[in-house]
Amino acid sequence: MYLINFIKRMSRKSNIPVLIYLALNVFIIAIIIQVMFSDSQINFIQSFFLALALYAVSMFIALSPIGEWILRLQTGCKPIKRVEYSNYIEPLFQEVYTKARAMDTSIPEDIQLFMNEDEAPNAFATGRKTICITEGLLSVPESQIKAILAHEFGHLAHKDTDLILVVSVGNMIISGIIIFIRLAIDLFHFIFHTISSLAGGQEGAIVALISTIYHLLITAVVVSLTKLWTWIGILFVMKSSRANEYEADEFAYRLGYGNDLCILLDTIDASGAQGLFASLSSSHPSKNDRIARLQNLGATYQRNFK
């Protein structure tokens, strides 16, 4: 059911760039299969349908709890174990959570809060049941922490967060499958050549070793290109989802955190963000555009220049 709803949401006009990216993904994976298994008798049509099947499996896994778990690993988000951290942030989280569910009952009842060690104040939501904050977020005032949590609950309420899972986790799963198959073939290739070259002496063994190294280098290049393409996909997602940021801001405003969100946007610096956090932050609308939208909604915040 959730996968069907995801496909329906993908039909929105704002998601056209992502749909193009996902379609290109299938073709690129088919090409990768052709290159990596060039010695086999697989033609491009067979490679295309194999790529389509692999991508469908990866989407299913990405949209499952496994996908959220993988993305938490990628971003270093872990359960909050320090007692003072938990005692401070959990009441704030639960306060906003209660308000968010009262306004939108589609928000799941079992959302969990995680943290990573980035010093830049930040947060993100992913999948259906994950909100992750940075350790640096604890340094801002409580009211602003509530504001950014309200914004992230807005993403969960609007189901904006699945695309990142499909792109980042889905591509990683496909890359892992291809690497596993390729390494298995390389291992068989090395063993076969080693055994067959024993009769040929040292020269035959060297040829077998060089051949195996060559195949491993091809695998490394394919993995690097897959990683680069994944990052491009994340930028595609965020480019097509900028309207979602405004909607999440509006959700926070409707919960009563409009002014606090304006203050947070006007004061935090996301330049210290790392990895996926940096990509997500850099592709958001500008803070001035977001503050202006909140002011148009009714936020009374104005920057003091004195």
- The residues, any chain, with a CB within 8 Å of residue 36's CB and separated by 6 or more, are 178, 181, 182, 218, 219, 222
Locate the DSSP E strands across the chain. 78-79, 112-116, 123-126, 130-134
- CA–CA separation, 249 and 82 (whole Å): 30
- CA–CA separation, 166 and 191 (whole Å): 37
For 196-227, the pLDDT digits (tens) are 666 555 666 676 677 777 777 777 777 777 77
- Chain position carrying tokens 């006007």: 266
User: Is the distance from CB of 243 to CB of 155 less than 8 angstroms?
Assistant: no
- The residues, any chain, with a CB within 8 Å of residue 92's CB and separated by 6 or more, are 142, 145, 146, 149
- CA–CA separation, 132 and 110 (whole Å): 14
Put simply, whether the predicted model's pTM sits higher than 0.85 gets the answer no
- CA–CA separation, 153 and 156 (whole Å): 5
* The CATH number of domain 72-160+241-297, selected from 3.40.228.10, 3.40.47.10, 3.30.2010.10, 3.40.190.10: 3.30.2010.10
Print burial letters for 221-240: b (CB count within 10 Å at least 16), e (below 16): ebeeebeebbeebbbbbbeb
Three-class DSSP category at 196: helix
How far is residue 263 from each of residues 51, 65, 131, 246, 259, measured CA to CA in Å?
Answer: 47, 34, 21, 16, 6
Predicted local distance difference test score (pLDDT) of residue 277 = 47
Three-class DSSP category at 303: coil
For 129-163, the pLDDT digits (tens) are 999 999 999 999 999 999 999 999 999 988 877 77
How far is residue 175 from each of residues 51, 168, 179, measured CA to CA in Å?
Answer: 11, 11, 6
Pairing mode, strands 123-126 and 112-116:
unpaired
Predicted local distance difference test score (pLDDT) of residue 162 = 78
Write out residues in the chain with pLDDT < 70, as ranges: 1-3, 5-6, 9-10, 14, 39, 169-171, 173-174, 178, 189, 192-193, 196-205, 207-208, 230, 233-234, 237-241, 269-284, 306
Extents of the domains making up the chain = 2-62+162-240, 72-160+241-297
- CA–CA separation, 125 and 113 (whole Å): 9
